[in-house]
Amino acid sequence: MAGESTGAAAGRGDRNRAILHGVSLSPFVRKVRAVLHLKSIDYDLVNVMPGGMDSEFLEKSPLSKIPVWQEGGWTPPDSSAICAYLERVKHAPALYPSDPREFAQALFWEKYADTRLNESGGGLAAFIETMDENEVLHALVEEDRAAMASV
């Protein structure tokens, strides 16, 4: 489950706990959060808005994009890189197929969703349509609501 904190508060938290930098409005952040949820990996969510990146964050994200994952001083950017890493460090439940050809196809569909579908606004539409039906996304929305209620 995600803890919620601001950038400033994050430095005071448990330094062993991983951090996801970004905001849930981003489909790329949501993709990583869905993987974290399905794999039951604990982390803190540090809110970074696309237009509000400070120099400290930009050092972690050379392409000026969210999300960025952080474990101590190790800060890989890019949702696909982060998801591939998480799949390797916590294999179960497996979210990518083990069959090499099916794996290649899954990577293509991930890229398709991240590029063409996202650019056309379809990613967001698909997200909104499935929001109430999809257990994982529903859990993330409930977490966001709870976090916002406490602000």
Ligand X SMILES: N[C@@H](CCC(=O)N[C@@H](CS)C(=O)NCC(=O)O)C(=O)O
Q: Which is nearer to ligand X, 70 or 79 (CB)?
A: 79
Q: Does 79 bind ligand X (CB under 6 A)?
A: yes
57 near ligand X, judged by CB under 6 A: no
91 vs 111 by CB, closer to ligand X: 111
78 binds ligand X (CB under 6 A): yes
Q: Which stretch binds ligand X (CB under 6 A): 61-69, 87-95, 100-108, 128-136?
A: 61-69
| Residue in 19, 30, 57, 67 binding ligand X, rule: CB under 6 A | 67
Could you say which of 10, 19, 24, 26 contacts ligand X (CB under 6 A)? 26
Q: How many residues bind ligand X (CB under 6 A)?
A: 11
Give the residue with the Cβ less far from ligand X, 58 or 99. 58
Residue 30 has, within 13 A of its CA and on its CB side, a CA count of 22
What element of type H or E holds 9?
A: helix 7-10
Nearest distance, CB of residue 86 and ligand X, angstroms:
13
26-31 LR contacts (CB < 8 Å, sep 24+): 26/50, 26/66, 26/67, 27/114, 27/118, 27/123, 27/124, 27/127, 28/65, 28/66, 28/67, 28/79, 28/114, 29/66, 29/67, 29/79, 30/127, 30/137, 30/140, 31/79, 31/83, 31/114
